[in-house]
Amino acid sequence: MFTVNTIDPSAQTQNITRGQLLLQHGAKPVWVSYIESGRVALGVLADGMMEHQIGVLEGPCWLDASSAVLNMPHLVDALADTPVELRQVSMDDFSKGIADLPAAAQAVLTDVAMAHRRQTEFAVSRLAKDAEARCAEWLLSHAQSGAHGQMAVELHQRKRSIAVQLGIAPETFSRVLRHLREQSLISGSGRVLNLVNPNALRSLAGV
């Protein structure tokens, strides 16, 4: 079994408090963590809070060993959901441990890591698309025709309240609106949002 003891038996146990960041998406792995006990939440953080959660890990298990096997950046953030005990090994030692495995075992490990990464990429991209689709549908359902026939939405509520209705974080709602502006689907940044391209919004919302 490929455990932390296989690579570095001297790795010391670390006690991590709840809420501590263990991985940051986009960062290349420098250490590879093995969770001895505790629960870790995986997802996308915004302002230090778990904005979208795609899963949890319960020790004992490796924490995103797939990125380490492929030597690629982490796709998600990881936050200690409970007090966690873990041990870390350096990327150099981890890579040497893999290099010591038979070639067939290395090939299987790489294939499994790549499959896991593709699943994670799909989950993360789906979160973003779901948020955009929900926002687009909300805008369309609250739109009214103006004097010149242009559709617009007047925001009578705070963005935080609208985000709660949509089941997303306020930061996500603001980011999606910004993205829709950049795509020229909406315009305006005050209390009135103009729907520049309603057909594209309908396509995005799937309606």
CATH number reported for the structural domain that contains residue 197 in this entry: 1.10.10.10
Least confident window among 71-85, 165-179, 184-198: 165-179
Query: What is this structure's pTM?
Result: 0.66
Q: Write 64-68 long-range contacts (CB < 8 A, 24+).
A: 64/23, 64/29, 64/33, 65/32, 65/113, 66/112, 66/113, 66/114, 66/116, 66/117, 66/120, 67/29, 67/113, 67/117, 68/29, 68/32, 68/94, 68/95
Over residues 186-205, the mean pLDDT reads 90
pLDDT top residue among 65 and 145: 65
Q: What is the pLDDT of residues 118-149, one digit of tens each?
A: 999 888 877 777 888 989 999 999 998 866 67
Are residues 165 and 82 both part of a single domain? Answer: no
Domain boundary among 80, 100, 120: 100
**How large a percentage of the chain has pLDDT more than 90?**
61
Structural domain that includes position 47? 4-100
114 domain-assigned = no
Are residues 137 and 198 both part of a single domain? Answer: yes
pLDDT top residue among 148 and 59: 59
